[in-house]
Structure 1
Amino acid sequence: MVSYKLPPKMAEMARRFEAEGGVPVRPRLASTVVLLREPFEAYLIRRVATMAFAASMYAFPGGGVDPRDAAVVPGWAGPSPEDWAARLKLDESVARSVVCAAVREVFEESGVLLAGADADTVVGDVSGPDWEQARRALIARELGFAEFLSRNGLVLRSDLLAPWSRWVTPEFEPRRFDTYFFLALLPKGQVTRDVGGEADDHVWCAPGEAADGRYTMLPPTSHTLLELAEAGGIEAALAAAPERDPSDAIRPGA
């Protein structure tokens, strides 16, 4: 297990929680995708002020695993769910759901789709009205992600994801997540767009600039940006990803 220091205000909340004998809630499994593009920029969205978790904070697109992410097997390309299970040190069905959630969430929250007709292709522009209607249906849970892919003759491109890290929300938080972070390149021909909903702002920014305090964000986001800045570039970051252990949970320490 890796630990990190909480900011002073959050550290005080943690001490108070422990002193009062607080009982932590069980963290929900989640996935987050760090979209990258040249010249070495990362994509951030600002969560709306009404959100129950991380309100008004800048974060990467992502969210909780949907039960259907585990129950239904979508068309698949790239490393198999069995391979992902070994990489993430999870049961196969859970690993599949984490990867599926990553691809689904980044489409829902940024309009970017990591899928293609086969293992060698990626869809182009997905900003048209039909795609937008499907994206909204996914958010409303009126359409399952596997069904969405099948309808459009697509397979999930799991090889476009590079596992990076795993963060667990501090115990004092009323909403907690066990989140797997992935890197992904913005596919050629696709654009991020303001899709509204849970976000009221979005920005592309160099990792070093994004982590310098100009944007309000939680430790997992700022720490990840600093790691990327230290890597120095997209190719270097992607080359470093296989050497990391994305199963080793990062938790707040003393």
Structure 2
Amino acid sequence: MSVAGDNTTNGAAQPKPAATVLLLRDDPAPPPGRAPLQVFLQRRVKQMAFAGGMTVFPGGSVDPSDVPEAERWAGPDPAEWAGLLGVSPQVAGQAVSAAVRELFEETGVLLAGPPGGEPGSLTSQAPLWRKQLVEHTISLAQVLVDSGYVLRSDLLRSWAHWVTPPQEGRRYDTLFFVAAMPAGQEADAHTTEAVEAAWWHPEAALEAFDTGEMTLMPPTLLSVRDLTAFGTTAEALAGCTGRDLTPVHPRFREDDEGVRYVILPDGSEHRFLPVRPA
């Protein structure tokens, strides 16, 4: 996840636009008692300024360059996404583009391909494009031009919209998307922002959270819980239809034992950290 400096107003950091992707696949040989559905999770480097040491979905801040030309775009356009997400066409277009770019930077999975074709296996140039994007020496728009690919916005589904509370030092206005793992590609952990990454069955991730093996950001925790309602990637993609995309403005509280809870607008509380993060 790319993190830039925050602007502040009245002492509170202004939320930066961001995008996150729940990358899904079906386990070809799920363990007994597990449904096939898996989600890709990354454990961030402890030294990261935001969410250090926590396990998250791939994603990051929107970059001003995150708007490919219309001819390099396939699927719902920014105006269509705007109507779905409840934001402006500019915000929607940049969020979709950022989701595609960040997913590629952090996992090597590119939701783009030849016009009229599926993404499929990437060319030998893909590692160079990925490196250049991470180094900010090229934009996603230029990658699409150089490759002849089009961004496949139709491979994304809308999932949720979270805004970091004002009391946090770093704040993000994050749109969450869902995508299926493209055939012929592999997700990896070749990013400096994560110490490890793996495919998890949602139930197994929650078990690791309950035992303290894994720490999850509140949006990640609740999204993983939501995924347990689905057995396959196809079911999860279908389940995106009709989800409530009203921005979630959570609050936090800590009890006398140092356990932290996120409080949602409906008043429900959810434990997410046993102790206050360092």
TM-score, structure 2 normalization: 0.79
Q: Which runs of 5+ in 1 are unaligned?
A: 1-21
CA displacement 1:6-42 (0-9 Å, x = unmatched): xxxxxxxxxxxxxxxx832110000000110002100
What does residue 30 of structure 1 align with?
Answer: 18
Aligned to 1:150: 145
- Report the Cα distance in structure 2 between the residues aligned to 1:103 and 1:133, rounded to whole angstroms: 16
Residues 183-198 of structure 1 aligned to structure 2 (within 5 Å):
183-198=178-193
Q: Residue 18 of structure 1 aligns with which residue?
A: none
Pairwise CA distance, 1:207: 0.9
User: TM-score, length-normalised on structure 1?
Assistant: 0.86
Question: In the alignment, is the contact (CA less than 8 A) between 2:42 and 2:194 conserved in 1?
Answer: yes
1:171-186 → structure 2 map (5 Å cutoff): 171-186=166-181
Aligned partner letter, 2:166: E
Match runs of 1:1-254 below 5 Å? 23-38=11-26, 39-70=36-67, 75-125=72-122, 128=124, 130-212=125-207, 213=209, 214-246=213-245, 248-253=246-251
> CA RMSD for the aligned pairs?
1.7
Retained in 2: the 8 A contact 1:163–1:183?
yes
Distance 1:72 1:189 in 2: 26
Structure 2 runs not aligned, ≥5 long: 1-9, 27-35, 252-262, 264-278
1:68 partner SS: coil
User: How much does 1:70 deviate?
Assistant: 4.1
**Contact in 1 for aligned 2:133/2:139 (Cα 8 Å):** yes
State the one-letter code of the partner of 2:43: R
Structure number with greater CO (CA < 8 Å, separation at least 6) is: 1
Q: What corresponds to 2:33 in structure 1?
A: none
SS at match of 2:96: helix
Deviation (angstroms), 1:118: 1.4
Q: CA deviation at 1:71?
A: 8.0
Q: Which amino acid aligns with 2:37?
A: F
Q: Deviations over 1:140-171 (max 9, x none)?
A: 11001101111000000000001000111122
Report if the CA contact (8 A) 1:74-1:150 is conserved.
Answer: no
Q: Which has the larger share of helix?
A: 1
User: Residues 68 and 140 of structure 2 are in contact (CA less than 8 Å); yes or no, is this contact kept in structure 1?
Assistant: no
Deviation at 1:91, TM superposition (A): 1.3
Identity percentage of aligned residues = 41
Equivalents in 2 of 1:161, 1:220: separation in Å?
A: 18
- Residues 181-214 of structure 1: CA deviation (Å, up to 9, x unaligned): 1110000010011212111100111011112313
Q: Deviations over 1:76-124 (max 9, x none)?
A: 0011111111111111111100000000000000000000101442131
Q: In 1, Cα distance between the equivalents of 2:128 and 2:161?
A: 32
